[in-house]
C-alpha cells in the first residue's frame, strides 16, 4: 500500500515539476523529473510495467540507438499500437523514468514500451523493469573515460541479458562482438549480404580500423568488410564465423536514401528508407526485423518508413534563420566517420564539440575520426563549443585551408553566422546538441 501511495504521489509531483520547468524555461526537462520521481518512489520503474499490455522492447548499442528505437516506435504507432517511448534520447534511468512519469495515467495503458537504453545503464534498468526484446545495434569504441574498452561495454550488456530469463535478442550479425550475445538466449540475427553505393560522396573511410580478435585470440579475417568491424568475418583458427541471418538483406545506398531488400522466410521484400548513409540502413534493418518479429507486413512497415522524420539531431532537418540546416550528432570515431562521408561540402559547416561528462571528457576520438572527408569543403567550417580550438587544430591537420576555418566558441553565434549565409550542416557532440535544441 505504501509503495502504491509513493507511486501515485510521484506522478502528481512529476507533473507539477514539469509544469514549473516549462514555465521557467530552465531546461529541456528530459531527466530532472525522472530524478525527482525516483527519489520519491525508488521502485517507480518496476511499477510501470503493469501499464504495458503487450511487450517491452529495449534498444542498446554504441551508435544508432535513438534512430532504431524511434523507427521501431513509429512502425508500431503506424500499425495503430499505443506506444510509450523515450523519444528525446535521455537513456539513463532518470531519462526513462522521466518519460513514464509524464505519460502514465491511472486508467491509461500502452500496448508497447520502446526504451532506448545507455549500454552501461541497461543492467540497472533490468533490475526494475524486465524486457521482452532487446535490439543491439553495434559496439564501437566510445567515451573511454566513461565506458572503458569494448570488452567492458560488452560485459555490461551481457550482465543485463543474464538478468532477464525470457529475453529475446535481435542482434546485428555483422558485428563480431554483438553476435556473441546469443549464447544463453533465443536470438534472431539481421545483417547485410551485400552493400552497393550509387551516391556522389566517397564511401570509403580514412579512419583507422581496429583489429578484432576471435574469442580464441586469433585476429578475425573478412570476406566482406562494410565499415569498421561490420561485415562477414571468420576465424581461421577455430572456425568461428558470422552467424547465418534470419533477416538477411541487400542494400543500395543513394545520397539521401537507401533501398533495402530483406528476406523474411526466404521471401525478398523491398523497402525504401529516407535516411542517408549505410549506418542508417543498419538502423532501419534492425527496426524492420523487429517489425517482422511482431508479425507486421511490408505495407505496414513501409508506411511507417515513408512518414518517419529523423529526431533530435539524428539526420534532423530544420529551417534556421530562413535557410535549411541538417543536424547530425557525432560522438565517437566510427559514428563520426560515417556521418562525415555524407556531409554536403557545398554547405556551411559547424562542428560544435563539448567535453562535458555526457560527451566524454576524453576528446582523443577527434584524431581517429575521418575529418579528411571535409578537405574539399567549399565554404566556411566553423568550430564551436568548449573544444572549439582543439577542433580547429584537428581540421588544420586534416588539410582544410586555414582561411576557411573560423573559431566561434559560442554555439548559438556560430550557428547564426553559418545559417545566415545559406544551407548549413551542423555536427554537434551530445551536450552541444542539447544546447541547440534549447536555443533553436
Q: What is the dihedral of CA 271, 272, 273, 276, to 10 degrees?
A: 130
- Cβ distance 386 to 354 under 8 Å? yes
Q: Where are the beta strands (DSSP E) in 67-210?
A: 83-85, 110-116, 133-136, 168-172, 186-198
**What residues contact 310, with CB distance under 8 A and at least 6 apart?**
67, 70, 275, 316, 317
How far apart are alpha carbons 118 and 47 in whole angstroms?
21
Q: Which three cell numbers stand for residue 25?
A: 524555461
Q: Which three cell numbers stand for residue 367?
A: 584524431
Q: Helix 93-103 crosses helix 2-24 at what angle (to 10 degrees)? A: 90
Taking residue 370's Cβ as centre, other Cβ atoms within 10 Å add up to 21
Q: Are strands 247-254 and 186-198 parallel, antiparallel or unpaired?
A: parallel
Taking residue 1's Cβ as centre, other Cβ atoms within 10 Å add up to 5
Please confirm, yes or no, whether 362 is among the known catalytic residues: yes
Q: Where are the beta strands (DSSP E) in 77-145?
A: 83-85, 110-116, 133-136
Which helix (H) or strand (E) is 283 found in, with range?
A: helix 278-293
Q: How far is CA 353 from CA 91, 116, 200, 440, in A?
A: 20, 23, 27, 17
Q: Is residue 193 classed exposed, middle or buried when 0-12, 13-18 and 19+ CB atoms within 10 A define those classes?
A: middle
Annotated catalytic residue, options 362, 370, 390, 439? 362
Q: Helix 298-307 crosses helix 278-293 at what angle (to 10 degrees)? A: 140
How far apart are alpha carbons 387 and 363 in whole angstroms?
9
Residues identified as active-site: 362
Amino acid at each position: 500500500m505504501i509503495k502504491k501511495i509513493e507511486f501515485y504521489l510521484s506522478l502528481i509531483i512529476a507533473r507539477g515539476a514539469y509544469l514549473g520547468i516549462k514555465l521557467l524555461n530552465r531546461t529541456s526537462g528530459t531527466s530532472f523529473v525522472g530524478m525527482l520521481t525516483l527519489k520519491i518512489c525508488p521502485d517507480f520503474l518496476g511499477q510501470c510495467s503493469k501499464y504495458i499490455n503487450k511487450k517491452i522492447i529495449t534498444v542498446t548499442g554504441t551508435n544508432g540507438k535513438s534512430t532504431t528505437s524511434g523507427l521501431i516506435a513509429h512502425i508500431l504507432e503506424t500499425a495503430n499500437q499505443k506506444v510509450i517511448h523515450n523519444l528525446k534520447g535521455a537513456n539513463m534511468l532518470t531519462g526513462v523514468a522521466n518519460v513514464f512519469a509524464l505519460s502514465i495515467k491511472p486508467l491509461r495503458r500502452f500496448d508497447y514500451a520502446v526504451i532506448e537504453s545507455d549500454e552501461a545503464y541497461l543492467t540497472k534498468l533490468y533490475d526494475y523493469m524486465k524486457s521482452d526484446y532487446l535490439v543491439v545495434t553495434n559496439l564501437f569504441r566510445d567515451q573511454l573515460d566513461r565506458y572503458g574498452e569494448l570488452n567492458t561495454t560488452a560485459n555490461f550488456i551481457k550482465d543485463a541479458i543474464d538478468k532477464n530469463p525470457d529475453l529475446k535478442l535481435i542482434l546485428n550479425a555483422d558485428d563480431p562482438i554483438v553476435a556473441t550475445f546469443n549464447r544463453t538466449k533465443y536470438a534472431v540475427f539481421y545483417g547485410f549480404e551485400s552493400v552497393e553505393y550509387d551516391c556522389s560522396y566517397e564511401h570509403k573511410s580514412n579512419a583507422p580500423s581496429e583489429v578484432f580478435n576471435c574469442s580464441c585470440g586469433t585476429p578475425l579475417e573478412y570476406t566482406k568488410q562494410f565499415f569498421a568491424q561490420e561485415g562477414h568475418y571468420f576465424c581461421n583458427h577455430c572456425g568461428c564465423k558470422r552467424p547465418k541471418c534470419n533477416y538477411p538483406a541487400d542494400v543500395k545506398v543513394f545520397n539521401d536514401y537507401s533501398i533495402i531488400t530483406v528476406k523474411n522466410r526466404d521471401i525478398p521484400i523491398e523497402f525504401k528508407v529516407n535516411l542517408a548513409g549505410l549506418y542508417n540502413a543498419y538502423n532501419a534493418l534492425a527496426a524492420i526485423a523487429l517489425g517482422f518479429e511482431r508479425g507486421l507486413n511490408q505495407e505496414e512497415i513501409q508506411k511507417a518508413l515513408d512518414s518517419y522524420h529523423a529526431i533530435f539531431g539524428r539526420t534532423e532537418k530544420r529551417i534556421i534563420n530562413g535557410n535549411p540546416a541538417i543536424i547530425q550528432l557525432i560522438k565517437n570515431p566510427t559514428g563520426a566517420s560515417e556521418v562525415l562521408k555524407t556531409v554536403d561540402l557545398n554547405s556551411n559547416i559547424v562542428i560544435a564539440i563539448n567535453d562535458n561528462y555526457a560527451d566524454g571528457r576524453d576528446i582523443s576520438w577527434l584524431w581517429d575520426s575521418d575529418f579528411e572527408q571535409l578537405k574539399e569543403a567549399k565554404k566556411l567550417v566553423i568550430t564551436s563549443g568548449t573544444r572549439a580550438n582543439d577542433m580547429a587544430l584537428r581540421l588544420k591537420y586534416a588539410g582544410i585551408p586555414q582561411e576557411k576555418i573560423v573559431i566561434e566558441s559560442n554555439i548559438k553565434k556560430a550557428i547564426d553566422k553559418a545559417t545566415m549565409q545559406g544551407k548549413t550542416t551542423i555536427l554537434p557532440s551530445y551536450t552541444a546538441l542539447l544546447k541547440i535544441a534549447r536555443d533553436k
